[in-house]
Amino acid sequence: MSSILPFTPPIVKRLLGWKKGEQNGQEEKWCEKAVKSLVKKLKKTGQLDELEKAITTQNANTKCITIPRSLDGRLQVSHRKGLPHVIYCRLWRWPDLHSHHELRAMELCEFAFNMKKDEVCVNPYHYQRVETPVLPPVLVPRHTEIPAEFPPLDDYSHSIPENTNFPAGIEPQSNIPETPPPGYLSEDGETSDHQMNHSMDAGSPNLSPNPMSPAHNNL
């Protein structure tokens, strides 16, 4: 208690004498501020004696010790915020308390934090500690790691990709002429129009001049 200032009220010194755990210099000063803040509030409502009775007797059969609930439910002490019942349960009962999930109010408590009333009880002996289930760790894959082995791929050894060279003696059939050669028959058994026209032009007989043409009349 060497860090407590000489002008610290005697009631604060007595209450700090009951705190649990050991804190370093900064943490011990913060605990002193938390107790001073609570003492100041309880003096106005006449509950200070009840707080000292609950702390010194460590008895749950004491009255609710309440302070006004803030808008967000938290209490600010110096530069730090926290839930009020967690702060004082950690101070006077369980220094290793982590969160409100580890606390459950007793049935006799009329202003338990979970009731969300305008007043919240901070009597540390109106709460019980419960065991929280430990969740198994979640393994998150890291995309930056390259696996040592990749899964087997399908067998494509019998297919030839487009950019694969053909074996010796096999040439790709890419130089097929656009027009069929002479005498080429299409799949439906007909020759091409070009070939048919060429044959008609070559084998058609010479036609006699029209007897009614102007040249015939001049004869």
Cβ–Cβ under 8 Å, residues 87 and 33:
no
pLDDT in tens, 151-177: 666 655 555 556 556 566 655 555 555
What is the helix (H) or strand (E) element at residue 195, kind and residue range?
Answer: helix 193-203
Of 92, 94, 91, residue with least CA distance to 131: 94
Is residue 126 pLDDT above 90, yes or no? yes
Tokens of 157: 């050894």
Give the tens place of pLDDT for each residue, 40-64. Answer: 999 999 999 999 999 999 999 999 9
Global pTM? 0.57
- Widest CA span of the chain, in angstroms? 155
Confidence of residue 191 (pLDDT cuts 50, 70, 90): low
The C-alpha atoms of residue 127 and residue 138 are separated, in whole angstroms, by 32
| Averaged pLDDT for residues 78-100 | 93
pLDDT confidence bin for 70, thresholds 50/70/90: very high
In this prediction, residue 24 carries a pLDDT of: 77
| Ranges 1-15, 98-112, 127-141, 169-183, most confident | 98-112
